[in-house]
Amino acid sequence: MMQHIDFFFSLESPYCLAQAEKRILLDSCLKNLDNYHYHKCMPYKRIVDALNGPLSEIYLPVRLFKDFELMSISSEQILKTLMSSGTTSQKVSRIFIDKITATNQTKALVKIIQHYLGKARLPMLIIDHPDVIHNRASFSARGAGIRGLWTFGRNHTYALDHEMKINHEAIDEFCEKFKHQNKIVFGFTFMVWKYFVQSLEAMGKRIDLLDSILFHSGGWKKLQQEAVDNDTFKSKTTLITGIKHIHNFYGMVEQVGAIYIECEKGYLHAPAFSDIKVIEPATMNELPCHQTGVIAVESILPLSYPGHRLLTEDIGTIIGEDDCQCGKKGKYFLIHGRLKQAETRGCSDTMH
């Protein structure tokens, strides 16, 4: 199993494999993981036995991670616990990570991010406040996201203070110090929009981040409620900050490391060590390109928990394979939003 993973990490680019070749390799790895987690994680075994279907067709609803502790390791092997975002009234997913899984996730992120940034560490502006990463034993989704990209930056600067207000002094100093240098900016989508772009606009202020690349993710539901789509987000952000290279990415704490970054043509791409399928929720049948359904994600990275085949609560459409005008191989797709009423389809009943 590890030899297969090492092969993916040795690729020159995470987008160089044609879909047919990639599927042969992925299917072999995923089959091994099916059997591994079946024997290592008793709750997963119960689900599989209750559904009585082929392992390769069983996708765990991500909601199960909010209700149950799913792990394929002993408690002594837990290196850290990742938690999804949520308010105090919401349950959050708890994902248990061991050393091997953490290493694989880091290697995967390095391959993906370096494809866009190169190998040099760039000055990094974080659209958040410092306290979000202080608890290293138990990360929130925001904290995990920042920590995940931390290694690609240097001179890390927070754009917001503890009250979520713009730290003008820090931003001005950052912009001046690294003027005419390549920079990385990272934040969660809603926070970038509300606490950074809109705040600057309300003050009538523009800043110079012209030589920057912005990665952002999450929070689209709140923006859609305000009638802010991807094009509006990009155009207004460019107007206020000067940033022209803006990349949304799709990912989840239940599958950290397997992120899907938006290319310059506006499509999300599946890297070599993960993939997506679009499922018709009533029948659980896989849908072809250009048909819209629920996104299922696959990844060879999770060893410490059964997160290798997950059914998300997101709606999307696969646009094509191997032929995106950006030149990347593999599947490329769009995410349209969340399911209004997400159901686990009885899987949780098998856990009791």
Domain tally for the chain? 1
Residue 2 covered by a domain: no
Residue 319 has pLDDT above 90, yes or no: yes
Phi and psi at residue 224, to the nearest 5° = -65, -35
Q: What is the CATH number of the domain that holds 172?
A: 3.40.50.12780
User: What range does the domain containing 316 cover?
Assistant: 7-351
Residue 102 covered by a domain: yes
CA–CA separation, 138 and 132 (whole Å): 11
Q: What is the largest CA-CA distance in the chain?
A: 62
Residue 20 covered by a domain: yes
Residue 53 has pLDDT above 60, yes or no: yes
The pLDDT tens digits of the residues spanning 151-170 come to 899 999 999 998 899 999 99
Residue 158 covered by a domain: yes
Report residue 352's pLDDT band, with 50, 70 and 90 as the boundaries: very low
Q: What is the pTM of this model?
A: 0.88
Residue 325 covered by a domain: yes
Residue 3 has pLDDT above 60, yes or no: no
Segment 314-327 mean pLDDT: 97
Q: What is the pLDDT of residue 141?
A: 64
Residue 271 has pLDDT above 70, yes or no: yes
Segment 185-196 mean pLDDT: 91
Residue 90 has pLDDT above 90, yes or no: no
Q: What is the pLDDT of residue 274?
A: 96
The pLDDT tens digits of the residues spanning 107-141 come to 999 999 999 999 999 999 999 988 877 654 445 66
Residue 1 covered by a domain: no
Residue 56 covered by a domain: yes
Q: What is the 3-state secondary structure (H, E, C) of the chain?
A: CHHHHHHHHHCCCCCCCCHHHHHHHHHHHHHHHHHHHHHHCHHHHHHHHHHCCCHHHCCEECCHHHHCCCCCCCHHHCCEEEECCCCCCCCCCEEEECHHHHHHHHHHHHHHHHHHHCCCCEEEEECCCHHHHCCCCEECHHHHHHHHHHCCEEEEEECECCCCCECHHHHHHHHHHCCCCCEEEEEEHHHHHHHHHHHHHHCCCCCCCCCEEEEEECCHHHHHHCCCCHHHHHHHHHHHHCCCEEEEEECCHHHCCCCEEECCCCCEECCCCEEEEEEECCCCEECCCCCEEEEEEEECCCCCCCCCEEEEEEEEEEEEECCCCCCCCCEEEEEEEECCCCCCCCHHHHHC
Residue 225 covered by a domain: yes
> Among all chains, which residue has been given the structure tokens 């299922």?
296
What's the mean per-residue pLDDT of the chain? Answer: 88
Tell me, what amino acid is at 216? H
